[in-house]
Structure 1
Amino acid sequence: MTESLKRHIREYIEISDEKLEKYSSAFKIEKIKKKEFLLKEGDICEAEGFVLNGCLKVFRTDKNADEQILYFGIENWWISDIDSFINKIPSQLNIQAIEDSEILLISKEDKERLYQEIPEIERLMRLKFQMSIIALQRRIIDNLSKPSDERYQDFLKEYPKTAHRLTNIQIAAYLGVTPEFISRIRRKIVNKS
């Protein structure tokens, strides 16, 4: 089960087979059924996950009970509430399976220990965090400066393997628009072609 994790890691860093085996053996596999939660708001995030298969959403619920989706986690994506995981504070987020999913989980203690024992892993995570910060920064800029229809088109281009797995409601919650807007723009695209 850890083969996809090992391939993923080798895309970013050089690491010996022994060190890679040591790191990947620290993960535990968890199967999550569709609609089940990996994390609920108010709980402390005890693990960081690597998605083997399936699709999950990381979201919060506002005062009107509307979801605000931060991101989706599909195959070969890392998933967590990083604030809760690092600082051991109650989460403001939920992580829920959109599809039946399998995730490899690693605890903070194991991760910190392995940073000390395998410096290459710390480098890997630094690279992954940099990529995440860049993506977050771009998303914020786009949300502040681009019209909704352009953000939707960008979403389709950026996440072609994810978009077809989601409902209009989920995409709308990610983009900060109404589901009706997504329906209208999809009809518009179909009519053009």
Structure 2
Amino acid sequence: MPGLDGITATRLYRAAALGRPHVPILGLTADATPAAVARCRDAGMDGCLVKPVEPSRLAAAVLAHARPAPPLAVPPIVSHPCSRQASVPALDLEVRANLTALGGEDFAAGLLQDFLADAEQTTRLLAEAAGAGDAAGFRAAAHALRSSAANIGARGVFEMCAAAEAIAAPEVATLGARQVAMLTAELDRVRRAGDQG
């Protein structure tokens, strides 16, 4: 991978995902030495396959580590992002502590600043897509922001993006602008929480 190898990516993911449900990670490597396989496992990978990989071996490894997803539940209205905004902390302190432990305070602060810069651009894309009634563009932008919000611990943003992704295509033009306004306000809360450190 350009800029980031699989071992480093796995370590970063495992640190950011502390306290969340376990997601299996399988490594693929051309290095068949026991030391390479051990490095993969030490980084937090659940398994390691040596290339070239036969499709049947890959499928067996995935099936061995896969777990069925829990059924989706429709949350009650009081847990909807609009209702919960004031009660959900802008930043999850546990995620912030994990990021700080991983790379130090400057690292965690830098990640938050990068997130906020990306989020500003993404909310512009969301507003443009909503104005054009572009449901696919709106959902893609909401999904991208949702993923990065989870990594930084911005739970309110995460929940609002999930709600934005669920807006029916014909309603994007009418409901999208309202969702973007709520996201912008929540991102301001995240910025203030980050400034307070």
TM-score category by the smaller chain? 0.3 to 0.5
Higher RCO (CA < 8 A, seq sep 6+): 1
Higher strand share: 1
Q: Which has the larger radius of gyration?
A: 2
TM-score under structure 2 normalisation? Answer: 0.33
